[in-house]
Amino acid sequence: MKNDKKRTYLLITIPILALFVCFNTIPLIRGVIYSFTNFRGFGSYDWVGLRNYIDLFGDSRVGGSYLFTFKLAICATVLTNVISLILALGLNGKIRAKSFFRAAYFLPNVLGALVVGYIFQYLFTYIIPALGEMIGSPTLSQSMLSNENLAWFAIVIVCCWQAVAMNTIIYISGLQTVPEDVYEAGDLDGATGWKRFRHLTFPLIIPFFTINMVLCVKNFLMVFDQIMAMTKGGPAQSTESISYLIYNNGMSGGQFGFQSANAVIFFIVIVVLSGAQMTISSRKEEQL
């Protein structure tokens, strides 16, 4: 009987592990190796050591992509979590058609990011400028995606619109774990409104807040589909994220080795930031 269980376990895990190694681990190792070469994506290549990594820190285009990506990630993370928490508090209350509204707010998460990007690209290019002309607004009369100062905000809007869905569900799950006894005790002490949320609700949903923050930062730092569909890094490279730069210049720009080094640095940055977020949040949980 034990041998049968062990055989079944191996039959399930070994194929999954093999697929993971083939499509994740091996490409990761090859990417790290290519980062030390001048590989263009085809043909022969030479070993260049740390030259790619040194050149990264002097490349203004790479620096601009990091600046844009971090700006987008910070703004989108803050907006997404604020909106998600407000929606979760509302959907967790005693309202009619609660299940319908939860399903409706979750719908954006079902749609593909690339599809959503193309829909909003049409909206920002044609619909909003037409409305801007109707109301006589010079700012709205032109496409936000063609404006270097506004294009990044259009991408933030799209990223938030889609990310709010999952975050709201996670916050609702957290709010449902808060015991009613806590609120009853708080009512006796006069904790209502903002005080109730600040001193009772929020401290008890900190683990869910941590999950959402880590996922948001990670996902927004890796933003790609929305930029691919809406701006392709323009106008004038003002919305070129790190992921898009790695893909565009690595695959079609003849910089496979150089962008592999960029990808390695980017991977380390994401791991460090995620680890720092988890450490800080866990300390706050212990203090509470």
CA within 13 Å, CB half, 87: 22
Mean pLDDT of 135-151: 86
CA within 13 Å, CB half, 68: 31
Alpha-carbon distance of 136 to 258, in angstroms, equals 47
- What is residue 201's predicted lDDT score, i.e. its pLDDT? 82
Share of the chain above pLDDT 90, in %: 41
Beta-carbon contacts of 165 under 8 Å, excluding residues fewer than 6 positions away, are: 105, 106, 107, 108, 109
- What is residue 85's predicted lDDT score, i.e. its pLDDT? 92
Q: Which two tokens stand for residue 90?
A: 């509302």
Alpha-carbon distance of 249 to 237, in angstroms, equals 12
Burial of 88 (0-12, 13-18, 19+ CB in 10 A): buried
Cβ pair 41, 269 in contact under 8 A? no
Going by the DSSP 8-state scheme, the letter that residue 37 receives in this structure is: B
Name the band, by pLDDT with cuts 50, 70 and 90, for residue 203: confident
Sign (positive or negative) of CA dihedral 43, 46, 47, 51: negative
Give per-residue pLDDT as tens, 31-61.
Answer: 999 999 998 888 888 899 899 999 998 889 9
Alpha-carbon distance of 106 to 74, in angstroms, equals 23
Give per-residue pLDDT as tens, 7-39.
Answer: 888 888 888 889 999 988 998 899 999 999 998
Looking at the predicted structure, is the pLDDT value of residue 2 above 80? no
Can you say how many angstroms the Cα of residue 115 is from the centroid of all Cα atoms in its chain? Answer: 17
Q: In 3-state terms, what secondary structure has residue 234? A: coil
Alpha-carbon distance of 76 to 217, in angstroms, equals 9
Looking at the predicted structure, is the pLDDT value of residue 67 above 80? yes
- What is residue 285's predicted lDDT score, i.e. its pLDDT? 63
Cβ pair 250, 41 in contact under 8 A? yes
* Summary mean pLDDT of the chain: 87
Alpha-carbon distance of 91 to 93, in angstroms, equals 5
Alpha-carbon distance of 160 to 175, in angstroms, equals 21
Can you say how many angstroms the Cα of residue 244 is from the centroid of all Cα atoms in its chain? Answer: 14
Can you say how many angstroms the Cα of residue 233 is from the centroid of all Cα atoms in its chain? Answer: 17
**Which of 3.40.50.12140, 1.10.1520.10, 1.10.8.100, 1.10.3720.10 would CATH assign to domain 65-287?**
1.10.3720.10
Name the band, by pLDDT with cuts 50, 70 and 90, for residue 72: very high
Query: Could you write out the DSSP letters of every residue in 38-104?
Result: ---SSS---B-TTHHHHHHTT-HHHHHHHHHHHHHHHHHHHHHHHHHHHHHHHHTSS-TTHHHHHHH
Looking at the predicted structure, is the pLDDT value of residue 1 above 60? no
